[in-house]
Amino acid sequence: MTGRQNTTLPHWWIFSPRWDMGVFWGSCLFSLLALLLGYRLGILNEDSPDWTWVYAVLLVDVAHVWSTGFRVYFDKQEMARRPLLYYGVPIFSFAAGLALYSLGSQVFWRCLAYLAVWHFLRQQYGWVALYRRRAGEPRNWEYRLDAAAIYLATLYPLLWWHAHLPRKFWWFLEGDFARLPAEWVSFLAPVYWLTMLAYAVKAVRSYQQGRGHPGKDTVVFTTWLCWYLGIVVFNSDYTFTVTNVLIHGIPYMALVYWYRQKQRGRETPRFKVSQVVYPLLVIWFLAFAEEMFWDRAMWHERTWLFGQPWDIGQLEILLVPLLAVPQLTHYILDGFIWKRQETPCLKGLETESQ
């Protein structure tokens, strides 16, 4: 055969063309529209208003943590399959959190922040690895370039952030990141830009050769765009929030929904109101309950939504690690529950560790 190669590859998409483009481009465009809205309202360089916190943090970021429940804890068969892991991780999380908090709140929040950062980085790499495996792409120089591009798309802005402290935003609490020498980032900058340029050239050539991979390219491009805008270009809590959590939480919830659909024997997700609204209401309720405890016990920032503060006194050393258990459990389990070789139901979801 001469001419261009066949563009139809097996398992070309994770979900389907419509779902993949909707999930990844949709969450990115949601972030960009939020930036535009912030600009029009004059809050682009300000703290996140309460209404932004509600839809971005409460209904997406915190809720996506609780969506792990539909992957594990609300599934009797899955719980019975690996009870030691699923019961042991929350217990371990509480014990580890208690040990860290006993060393000081700054130690606890710094460790939790870096674990969250690693989780965010690995999820973006996981999407790229998943696309490669679904398309049957070999582990050649393109594989190494793909990995370098997605890691640098996240790592460079993070290191730039560390080298330009203090910023007007932070991951969890002010001071949870350590300062790094600015020279490190100056050295990495040309590597970052050359790698992204090399990936762009490779992507263009692949389309010219008839083997372009729009799903994978979308993940790399939207990750680069949102992380660079939210951390390097702008300097505010509002911009960081809307560019960081939406492209992370929305695709993850879509993955959990896809998994539930696959359990029902459907390769391609079907949108049914009852099958979407019920899980969303459950995880939104759980997210609200968690944040209510956080706010009334610790933050005291949104009495209009959660009610008057509590005086917890010496219970803080127990309550903070306990409230952090859902997050820690989500971060840890995410390294296990999406591995195809360890999960029989995911036979069609060929992915490396996410």
Based on its alpha-carbon atoms, the radius of gyration of the chain, rounded to whole angstroms, reads 21
- For the chain, what is the largest distance between any 2 Cα atoms, rounded to a whole number of angstroms? 76
Residues in the chain: 354
Cα 336 to Cα 92, 122, 147, 283: the distances in Å are 15, 12, 20, 21
| Per-residue confidence (pLDDT) for residue 137, from 0 to 100 | 86
Joined together, the tokens standing for residue 230 give: 């939210």
- In contact, 74 and 314? CB cutoff 8 Å: no
For residues 117 and 121, give the distance between their C-alpha atoms in angstroms, rounded to a whole number.
6
Cα 23 to Cα 26, 181, 334: the distances in Å are 5, 37, 19
In the chain, how many H helices and how many E strands?
16, 0
Nearest to 135, CA basis, from 75, 71, 211: 211
For residues 349 and 11, give the distance between their C-alpha atoms in angstroms, rounded to a whole number.
9
| Per-residue confidence (pLDDT) for residue 91, from 0 to 100 | 98
- In contact, 297 and 319? CB cutoff 8 Å: yes
Return the SS3 of 96: helix
DSSP code at position 13:
S
- In contact, 75 and 256? CB cutoff 8 Å: no
Query: First and final CA of the chain: distance in angstroms?
Result: 38
DSSP per-residue codes, 210-243: T---HHHHHHHHHHHHHHIIIIII--SHHHHHHH
- In contact, 334 and 68? CB cutoff 8 Å: yes
Joined together, the tokens standing for residue 146 give: 């793909």
The pLDDT tens digits along the chain (354 residues) read 334 444 444 467 888 888 899 999 999 999 999 999 999 999 999 999 999 999 999 999 999 999 999 999 999 999 999 999 999 999 999 999 999 999 999 999 999 999 999 999 999 999 999 899 888 888 899 999 999 999 999 999 999 999 999 999 999 999 999 999 998 889 999 999 999 999 999 999 999 988 889 999 999 999 999 999 999 999 999 999 999 999 999 999 999 988 888 777 665 666 677 778 889 999 999 999 999 999 999 999 999 999 999 999 999 999 999 999 999 999 999 989 987 666 656 555 544 334
CB atoms within 10 A of CB 233: 12
Residue with the two structure tokens 């000081």: 104
Model-level pTM greater than 0.75?
A: yes
